[in-house]
Chains A and B, each alone.
Chain A
Amino acid sequence: MAEAVTELPIVANARGLPAPGGAPWLADLRGRGLDAFELPGRKTEAWKYTRIDALMKKTAFVPPPLIDEPASSDIPCHLALGAEGHRLVLVNGRFSPELSDLDALPRSVTVQSLASALESDPQAIAPHLGNLQPLEGYPFAALNTGLMGDGLIIRIKDGALVETPLHVISVAHAPGEAPVAFHPRLLVMVGKGAVATLLESHVGVDGGETLSNGVTEISIGADAVFHHYKVQNESLKATHLAAAQVVVGAKAVYEAFALSFGARLSRHDIRVCLDGEGAEARVNGAYAADTGQHMDTSSYIDHALPHGTSAQTYKGVVDGSGRGVFQGRINVARAAQGTSGNQLHKALLLSNKAEVDAKPELTIFADDVQCSHGATCGQLDDDHMFFLRARGLTEDEARGLLIEGFLDDVIDLVSAPAVQASMKDMVHAWLIDRSGRKEAA
């Protein structure tokens, strides 16, 4: 199997290219990554509803060329989160100092590109890189580990109070004919008692096919509060694969929200380990998939130690021939007594060709727990529709309003007001686009 994998264009084309950093541990880590990569297929349970093998076999992805960085004006900023932030731009996974703005960065935060860290002082990041991300069971995170070259290392000092969010804008850009694949890596270390917010916007510049295969590793120290908001708004020629590994320390809080509108195929893998007593995770999200889109959210909350709390709510709207997938697992380890873990997934199916697959899972090995999950799937409520029609709205307007309400309801869980407002604007824009598409069709 492993041998066949090395024949995949995405692996074969990346081999032999110079990668930054020559440290033996790094070569070893990359080697282990490639060894662990196995293309998920029909029998891979974790990828049961998201088939990617055909795409990977037939598409001749190449690493992005070094030139061709888009002009600042070409970047579709309207697709990124509108909230204020320290701008960190990655183009095809490479850090772009020109497009970034770090002038106002407070002293309690240090930001470094992964490539420069690997060149200048690889030893300093050796204990951290790949420390959280398992390779087994995460084939594309393994691939990222094997092929990573650049990304960001963000350190937030103990006790820091970072008021303005850090905003990573990741731009996918394939100006030529060849489909481009890149493997950005984010390493975020949040110190004890620190308070900070990370925004991630994933956008695409019009062009050819792209594959973004990112891995984000976040460690959150005891008593820290870390907010993590992500918007995925790539083009319909894009494939977006993202794995986030988050380890939350004692009494620390991790709050995340992921909103997805873009890409032809996307998979958002998030795994949060509550690794200290009394740690808390609030992990929420929303997605809207239309014709030609496949959106997969797979979450895994691991309660490793006592008195942890986790809450998850996800909502999805699936239209046209779109497909939504939700897999959510709450695991409660033997030691994690006093755990509270709750999860909810709600989907709206708007068309006869749409499909939603949900697999919410509880695996529980401790008895003093209160855990639940719920999943619903259905269409818009007839009574609600009729009520709005009776008030003079057209069918399209009525549907739009109800869909907007359905998604805004979960976006209300975002605790940063500016981010919440920006996300609601995006939902609104998606709905306007949708009715435009319907009229055209």
Chain B
Amino acid sequence: MALIEIKDLHASVDGKEILKGVSLTINPGEMHALMGPNGTGKSTLSNVIAGRAGYEVTSGDVLLEGRSILDMEPNERSNAGVFLAFQYPVEIPGVATSTFLKAAINAKRKFAGQKEIDAMEFLKLVKARAKELNVRDDMLKRPVNVGFSGGEKKRAEILQMALLEPKFCILDETDSGLDIDALKVVSDGVNALRSADRSFLVITHYQRLLSYIVPDFVHVFAGGRIVRSGGKELAMELEENGYAEYVDAA
């Protein structure tokens, strides 16, 4: 069975249609890249899948393991296994990152009918994952994303992903604003999480991220829908020729 199935999805914001019939099937273990010019609705797609308020789905459906998720609250979708790495991670003053992580892990455990994680186990788990991602311990004590550099924010997103072990991960322009070193760390983190039953949708404007995270499929997104799909060679072609023909086509 497909892990994620997006069926002819239409969605609008303030009455203006942004998604104009998106269809996409992602099987377990697959890495998909969604590429396209800015302002064509790529982030809208990720927000609609994650259930952000303010988007109206006018028709179509999104299925996770065969079940529609459109009627679920954002936290229910998260607990069901959908993870969104934000393009702009949000700052929450006063709330220590570790407290936030613990709340998220426990929410997921509660949903799965497990007991809360104990403090020692939690510390061990977080510290181990943090080390892999080059996240310093003091970052865990600082308030969520407050005063983090661009690279730190993105690494913190991947750390959350690693801890929550989702089935389906959306990376929304995770490469934006990263230098080469940070890009490598983030990509290594993502690659380490690739597994036979976990799938990814990587949204990006540039091909550069895809040299580190090699996709199985590449889709070109323009004018609110997927206009072309292919293998990883398509990304190279886009890098070469740009999006002009797709912008015109849309």
Q: Do chains A and B touch in the complex (CB under 8 A)?
A: no
Interface residues of B (CB under 8 A from A): none
